[in-house]
Amino acid sequence: MDNSTEGERLRDAGMKIAEEAQAERDPLTKQKAISEIRWMAENFETFTSDDVHFFSAIRTDHPCAWGSYYKEAHKLGLMEIAVGIPYVKSKRPSAHAAAIPVYRSLIYKGAHEPAE
């Protein structure tokens, strides 16, 4: 197994653990988060996790839970990582300036510009 495959396996396992722990605390968190991601995808052609968090009232015990929600939103056909657009540095202090992807909506209806 190459290192990237092992890294992806460990990443996905961590997201699953965080999602399950969050579901024990609030079983509706995932449903609410997917709903918020859907709203962003309907109203913004491109967006980042910072944009979602700017509008969201949802706070999870561990940020990895959100990774599983974005993965699920992608499976549902709501958005995808934008090809050809470089990752950007997160502005959320809790993200420690991590590089985050820009998502491209697959269900954009037109309306807004991304939050600054």
**Is 47 inside a domain boundary?**
yes
**Is 113 inside a domain boundary?**
no
This prediction has a pTM of 0.85
Q: What is the pLDDT of residue 115?
A: 56
pLDDT digits (tens, 9 = 90+) for 58-100: 999 888 899 999 999 999 999 999 999 999 999 999 889 999 9
**Total domains present in the chain:** 1
- Count Cβ atoms below 10 Å from residue 49 Cβ, excluding itself: 23
Q: What is the pLDDT of residue 95?
A: 87
**Is 112 inside a domain boundary?**
no
**Is 110 inside a domain boundary?**
no
**Is 114 inside a domain boundary?**
no
Range of the domain at 95: 3-105
Select from 41, 15, 28, 59 the least CA-distant residue to 108. Answer: 41
User: Are the C-beta atoms of 52 and 40 separated by less than 8 Å?
Assistant: yes
Q: What is the length of the chain?
A: 116
**Is 101 inside a domain boundary?**
yes
Q: What is the pLDDT of residue 85?
A: 93
Could you tell me the strand order of the sheet in which 103-105 lies?
A: 46-47, 103-105, 79-81
**pLDDT band for position 1 (50/70/90)?**
low
pLDDT digits (tens, 9 = 90+) for 2-61: 667 899 899 899 889 989 989 999 999 999 999 999 999 999 999 999 999 999 999 998
